[in-house]
Amino acid sequence: MYLLTMTLTLNQFLLLILAFAAVVAVTFLVILFIQLRRTAKEGEATLTAIRELVHNLNETNQKVQGRINEVSDVLHSAKETASNFAQASLFIATKMIKPSSKYWPFMFPLIRFGWQQWKKRKKQKEDGNV
């Protein structure tokens, strides 16, 4: 049989290699561009989600700041109340209790006696009504 053998010249061989390299390069670039397009779409979706999260975070921050302001007002009022209570208790201790403490030994037995009498009357009323 007769086989056709074709011999390639050096120029033809180099052209074949260059064509093959060009096909490989174009294929690589097409795959790269497809991947870049997918990455760009995902990046865009991620940026949209990030914008939404930042917006929500700003709203949350504003709400928290408002609550902090309310709490600071309440704390200021509580501090003022505690200060007024301390002044009132100091006044009661220095102006009322301490000067009257010399009369307490006489007052306590009278108060206790009155308390006992009141309890007896209350008990008698309950027993009489039943």
- In tens, the pLDDT along 77-120 reads 999 999 999 998 888 888 877 777 787 788 888 889 999 999 99
CB 8 within 8 A of CB 16: yes
| Residue 40 covered by a domain | yes
48/44 Cα distance (integer angstroms): 6
Residue 39 lies in a domain: yes
From CA 41, how far away is CA 96, in angstroms rounded?
A: 80
In a domain, 63, yes or no: yes
Domain holding 86, by residue range, is 25-97
Number of domains in the chain: 1
Which residues, at least 6 apart from 101, have a Cβ–Cβ distance to it below 8 Å? Answer: none
Q: What digits encode the pLDDT tens for the residues 16-65?
A: 999 999 999 999 999 999 999 999 999 999 999 999 999 999 999 999 99
Residue 43 lies inside a defined structural domain of this protein: yes
Question: Does any domain span residue 80?
Answer: yes
**In the chain, where does DSSP find H-type helix?**
10-91, 98-100, 104-129
- Name, in order, each residue with C-beta under 8 angstroms of 8's C-beta and a sequence gap of 6 or more: 16
Q: Between residues 28 and 125, which one has the greater pLDDT?
A: 28
Residue 64 lies in a domain: yes
CA angle (61 as vertex; 60, 67 as ends), nearest 5: 90
Q: Residue 81 falls within a domain, yes or no? A: yes
Q: 57 lies in a domain? A: yes
